[in-house]
Amino acid sequence: MAERIDARGLSCPQPVVLTQKAIKSGLPEFEVLVDSEVSRENVTRCLENNKMIVETSSEGDTYVIVAKKN
Amino acid sequence: MKNFFSSRWGIIVTGAVIGSIAVTLQQLGNPANMGICVACFERDIAGALGFHRADVVQYIRPEIPAFVLGSFIISLFTKEYQPRAGSSTIIRFFLGVFAMIGALVFLGCPWRALLRLSGGDWNALTGIAGLITGISAGVLFLKNGFSLGRNYKLKKGAGWIFPAFMVALLVMLLFKFRVSDTGPLFFSAKGPGSQYTPVLISLAAGLIIGAIAQRSRFCTMGSLRDIILARDFHLASGILAMVVFATALNLVYGQFNPGFDGQPVAHTAHLWNFAGMALSGLSFALAGGCPGRQLILSGEGDSDSAVFVVGMIVGAGVSHNFLLASSSAGPGAFGPAAVIIGIVFCLIIGITMREKVN
């Protein structure tokens, strides 16, 4: 199972900082959990700027953002 | 539904609209290079309520409630209204206090810094340099695991309180409410507090800005932070558009007066313009948003941001009562000392509020 980063309830820009750390650590695939539309947009933009493939689904209040290396 | 305003063009349109509306509000009566200033307007509200007695800066600025209510209404429609709270509340309160102290040493929030620049007030440049310095320090803390902790979702009924307080301010303004002949509300007879755009125009302008800023997540602090943190220029394109449109319209209206000396509601003490904004920038970075953004988040139901705003209003009272706020003559008697205390406070928060980094 891919590494999970739980960024729910964290205010801007911490979800992005955690996402950046995951990208830098070279993980081929990981999931980021966020619970606001703003965080979903910010994390998605950060991943796309880093040329990752992004897939998002929602589970209740939580967005699950799956990131894969291109 | 795809959110147009979260796109690159969306943020550019938002910045252009905010810049255009701001200088137009100035043309219609708001103070010079202060078409919109979140810090100054909150300070005027604090004065109107009698939290300070600086008689030139007292007025219930309807733009502030309108930003919150614009965000509140649009977020109800788009289902982004989500009451939440519980992330280091008292720290956020004092970050708000010190953010205001810094802003009133410089004489403006980041929005006004950009508007001052757009009006040709070159003193804004040292302020913006300070802002960048403060935000850079904040980014350093963030990279090292700084966190004020998670918030928690609350029931839907928990988020209306701050918007209701804003409605109360508007009602008091519309009825020019007064406790007695000598007591609040206070309205300036002279100075910046006596200069304002007709209420309904300010209200409409504020509601529009509140709504599009909510949709686009417009944030001046965030734009600089994202460049430093992630080389992300998304939000920055919005503030660039704001400066371009504000400058162009200032030229059209004849409001562009380049220079350092004699600028309206400004001073030339470069060191303290720099240091004041550095303190504010660091406070905003640690709290996660510029003053405008905090109002928008408050409207969405974020109690932590609402507490930051209340901190700023209290900070305005402190600034004027304790002679911290600057005037056109320069910094107040104790302004520089307060800026240093504020920076020390922020550094302690930045260093101590760290989560373990794996």
> What is the band of A63 on the pLDDT scale with cuts at 50, 70, 90?
very high
> What is the band of A60 on the pLDDT scale with cuts at 50, 70, 90?
confident
CA distance A17 to chain B (A): 7
Q: Which two tokens stand for residue B339?
A: 């800026």
Give me the helix-helix angle, B161-174 and B303-321, nearest 10°. Answer: 50
**B232:A14 CB<8 A:** no
Residue B344: other Cβ atoms inside 10 A: 12
pLDDT for B181: 86
CA distance B177 to chain A (A): 38
C-alpha to C-alpha distance for B315 and B45, rounded to whole angstroms:
12
Contacts of A61 in chain B (CB under 8 A): 153
C-alpha to C-alpha distance for B194 and B9, rounded to whole angstroms:
37
| Total-model pTM | 0.96
End-to-end alpha-carbon separation of chain A, Å? 18
Judged against a pLDDT cut of 80, whether residue B1 lies above it is answered with: no
Q: Give the ipTM.
A: 0.92
How does pLDDT run across A7-29, given as a tens digit for each residue? 999 998 999 999 999 999 999 99
How does pLDDT run across B115-161, given as a tens digit for each residue? 999 999 999 999 999 999 999 999 999 999 999 999 999 999 999 99
Q: Are B83 and B155 in contact (CB under 8 A)?
A: yes
How does pLDDT run across B252-284, given as a tens digit for each residue? 999 999 999 999 999 999 999 999 999 999 999
In this prediction, what percent of chain B has a pLDDT beyond 70? 99
Q: Alpha helices, DSSP H only, in chain B?
A: 8-27, 38-48, 63-77, 89-106, 110-118, 123-143, 161-174, 199-216, 220-230, 234-253, 270-287, 291-300, 303-321, 335-352
A24 in B contact zone (CB under 8 Å): no
